[in-house]
Structure 1
Amino acid sequence: MRDPSFRRSLALFRAFLREQDDPHTAYELLARDAADQIERHVRLDGRIVLDVGGGRGYFTREFRRRGAHGYLFEPDPAELAPGRRAGAVVADGYLLPLADGAADVCFSSNVLEHVRDPATFLSELVRVTRPGGLIYVSFTNWLSPWGGHEWAPWHYLGAERARARYERRTGRTAKHRLGENLFAIGVGPTLRHVRERGDVEIVSARSRYWPVFPGAVTRVPVLREFATWNLLLLLRRCP
């Protein structure tokens, strides 16, 4: 699927709507799409690619299918897919058990909104990426329509109210709790932080899913906090 395009965005949105019932289809599609985005900048074949916080390993497996040496780093053993733990390491993204510059590509999809200290997390991704290597980071910002995750869009009325409503409606305990495993990260502050860093340059800052002008929406203050939906940063580690 061409990126950006209405066809691609519609396919991803439909898969997203079925994510709770059919996560395999949704994440297989998202993994192929992410790999396509990376390969517009660097060929994956033969590269060392780190998937930090990749859960059940959909992205890692797609990178390997394209010839990469893919390695998954996940802090929660319960998230790892049973029987598919080869090349997976239980490790905290704040302190990866790797030497400086170990990877050609460092990848993190929808993790930054789940860490308390995103600046330190980003610094660790940069550290383990070789000079000239690519860093792919995407996250769902708090004020986007999906910022509250399973209890969105009611998070606009308050996190606790939204979480309580979800639990009443479904009879299930919500997976996420604001301030514990979900944090109110914004597009503007994140872009300012990355621009102020001296160890990376921005290759692309865009909405991950928008079908038209995906970079333009991230340049409009206030609007970008609601309309970006999911910010994708492609960074190059400076020499």
Structure 2
Amino acid sequence: MTLIIFDCDGVLVNSEEIYLATELEFLASVGVVLERDVYTDTFMGLSPPMWQARLQSIIAERRSAPLPSDFFKQLDDHTTARIELHLAALPDARQTIDGIEARRCVASSTPSARLRWKLQQTGLIGLFDPHIFSSDMVLNGKPAPDLFLHAAAAMGVQPGECVVVEDSVNGVMAGKAAGMQVIGFTAGAHCAGNHGARLATAGADRVVGSYGDLAAALAGLGAW
């Protein structure tokens, strides 16, 4: 394998656990209670437009009254405040990635400007810049393969020579649809219960729970 493609939220930084807690809290405040596992499998890894469209559809099924007109703005403002306060790199991310000799890049559903901000705030941007790819660069976000195929093409690497590191069911599905090896990553605090099993069911070739295990898995795949 010659290219390792990292997701960002929940793989490089802890933002996914912040999003999860905030979104479930806000949904409950308008009377829409979703199980944590159902929510993560359905929504985690989607681009913001896809997330909002799918969420609005589910809310419409469960609420007779329309949402407050500023619901998504309030949610975004509250999430942004929490992200700015609590965002951090996952434990051992910097040290492990810095020791990887294979080529690497980031491919995330987060919009480009916000993605770069997250990497800058956590001190990880130097590990990847300029090889940072966002779903706003492609027509279809995850679980479609477009973003991973775009990243591979931009890096001049065939899909079969790529390993994707993903924490979401939608991301795993996208990596497999792109014809890539996928490692399911469950080191984030949001990966509770049987999250690893669900990543495996979605098609992950291996599932690991820490950066130490990730390094071993990549070495086992011949990634470096």
* TM-score bin, normalised by smaller chain: 0.3 to 0.5
Relative contact order, higher structure (CA 8 A, sep 6+) = 2
Q: TM-score under structure 2 normalisation? A: 0.38
Larger strand proportion, structure 1 or 2?
A: 1
Larger helix proportion, structure 1 or 2?
A: 2
Q: TM-score under structure 1 normalisation? A: 0.36
